[in-house]
Structure 1
Amino acid sequence: MIKSRKSPEEIVFLIENWIRQKTLESSSCGGVVGLSGGIDSAVVAVLLRRVFGENMLAIKMPCHSIEEDNLHADLLIEKFDLPWALVDLSETYDSLVKAVKLRTDSLAVANIKPRLRMTTLYAFAQSHGYLVCGTGNKAELTVGYFTKHGDSGVDLLPLGDLTKSEVRDVAEYLDIPSVIVEKAPSAGLWEGQTDEIEMGLSYDQIDNFIIGQTDGDKTNEIQTRFNSTKHKREIPPICELF
């Protein structure tokens, strides 16, 4: 386990103040987050509840999703009395996949799911005057493990400077149910999918890279991925003519 750079209490205090400040700067009045049933979205949802009270929304957006994730999302909603909404994207996804006529087992098709969720979150956020709060952490951002214009399509990234280990520490501090904290992280793109299997890297290996602990070939691999996914962390380049 990677030792946190700050205590969970300090991290929560800093993030909550940062969210308040960014909300004031944007003349917004709350936040919306997609609730997947996983640890990252759980942490963001609880932070928004603490900061905004009733002026937040946790949106469940199943898309042929695993029932266990839905149950875990409901568990969080009940425990923290989260304002929430449900938008089942399964039929919308099926219609779009049919229209684009691509192989259903391709990554391009799998990435339609987070892009549909992004569109849904912005529809709710704009109608309420809220900001879309993403769930990406520093480990995922480092290796580019997110969908461009999907789960990266957000206004704020409250966990963006936290290692995965720090996210776990914060989740425990916030008293998020252990069944959510301890389960294998997954983007839920398909049955049996897990983050670490898909990446071919463990979160501890990526966390070590972030805090400067070298790990031979893994360090080189992570650095290569960081370099090759730079475009995913930046706004599109502009062809400047003048």
Structure 2
Amino acid sequence: GLSGGVDSALVAALAARALGPEQVIPVIMPYHSSSPDSEADARTVAASLGLEPLVVDISPQVDAYFERFGDADRGRRGNKMARERMSILYDMSWTHRALVIGTSNKTELLLGYGTIHGDMAHALNPLGDLYKTQVFAMARALHLPRRVVEKAPSADLWEGQSDEQDLGFQYAVVDMLLYHLVDERRTRHELRNLGFDDAFMDLVGARLRDNQYKRRLPIIAKLSTRTIDRDFRYPRDWGR
């Protein structure tokens, strides 16, 4: 899915470099409340990479569903939009015998900023081990359109929506904490010495713990000696 944001732009660029533009199908999926700038930016990215975008408006199916649930809040509507986009991408996957490439970065995955079976559904994810600030740096290094790299990150689920407002902190700050906490495994005492206050560490730590379920396969009730999610675990299936 090509949204017009920096994450999907970087994924498109990496895929085009690795596979060739003719092997990449960018799908632009606006909703009627989406900013026209988002679609324009997505088209700019596609053109700069030599890609032919497919545009599918998700408004009809989303609006048809919420005609029955008119009191649905923004969060519920946003999740529905993400899952409609997932449904379209996997339909395109079947149609073109192609794989769905994810666009969630490490910051989003750790903090649970994504929708299960929505934007978190994919076959492979090139950005999953890159923090958001690293995504920005890589996008600049690959000379992606400046406007896309410099605009405020937004899922564009409603007018004025901002990722950093939803999260409650800036990427530059939370990425630094996550790096020291997750990658370097610093202790609470060491993090304090680096300048992080307890309230911020508690908030981020709670999000990490609360969203662990989004980062793993569904738990299977263990009844045998070889249970798929904990005992039968291989990099690839036998005979392939």
Q: TM-score, normalised by structure 1?
A: 0.82
What are the ranges of 5 or more consecutive residues in structure 1 without an aligned counterpart?
Answer: 1-33
Query: Is the CA contact 1:58–1:84 (under 8 Å) kept in the aligned structure 2?
Result: yes
Alignment partner of 1:37 is 2:19? no
Query: Is the CA contact 2:155–2:163 (under 8 Å) kept in the aligned structure 1?
Result: yes
Give runs of aligned pairs for residues 124-139 of structure 1, distance below 5 A: 124-139=92-107
Query: Is the CA contact 2:154–2:161 (under 8 Å) kept in the aligned structure 1?
Result: yes
Alignment partner of 1:238 is 2:220? yes
TM superposition shift of 1:102: 4.7
Counterpart CA distance in 2 for 1:188 and 1:160 is: 21
Give runs of aligned pairs for residues 69-80 of structure 1, distance below 5 A: 69-80=38-49
- Partner in structure 2 of residue 220 of structure 1: 202
- Partner in structure 1 of residue 17 of structure 2: 50
Letter in 1 for 2:204: I
Alignment partner of 1:171 is 2:153? no
What are the ranges of 5 or more consecutive residues in structure 2 without an aligned counterpart?
Answer: 182-190, 225-240
Structure (1 or 2) with the greater strand fraction: 1
- Partner in structure 1 of residue 119 of structure 2: 151
Count of paired positions: 208
Deviations 1:189-235 (A, max 9, x none): 11000000011011112211222173222222111100000111111
Task: Give the 3-state SS of the residue equivalent to 1:226 in structure 2.
Answer: helix
Alignment partner of 1:121 is 2:103? no
Greater relative contact order, per chain length (Cα 8 Å cut-off, separation 6+): 1
- Partner in structure 1 of residue 230 of structure 2: none
Deviations 1:133-183 (A, max 9, x none): 111001111110001111001111110000111101110111101100000
Alignment partner of 1:110 is 2:78? yes
* Larger-Rg structure: 2
More displaced stretch, 112-121 vs 123-132? 123-132
Counterpart CA distance in 2 for 1:142 and 1:204 is: 15
Task: Give the 3-state SS of the residue equivalent to 2:27 in structure 1.
Answer: strand
Letter in 2 for 1:218: F
Query: Is the CA contact 1:38–1:180 (under 8 Å) kept in the aligned structure 2?
Result: yes
Letter in 1 for 2:121: G
Query: Is the CA contact 2:43–2:53 (under 8 Å) kept in the aligned structure 1?
Result: no
% same residue? 38
CA RMSD of aligned residues (A): 1.3
- Partner in structure 1 of residue 238 of structure 2: none
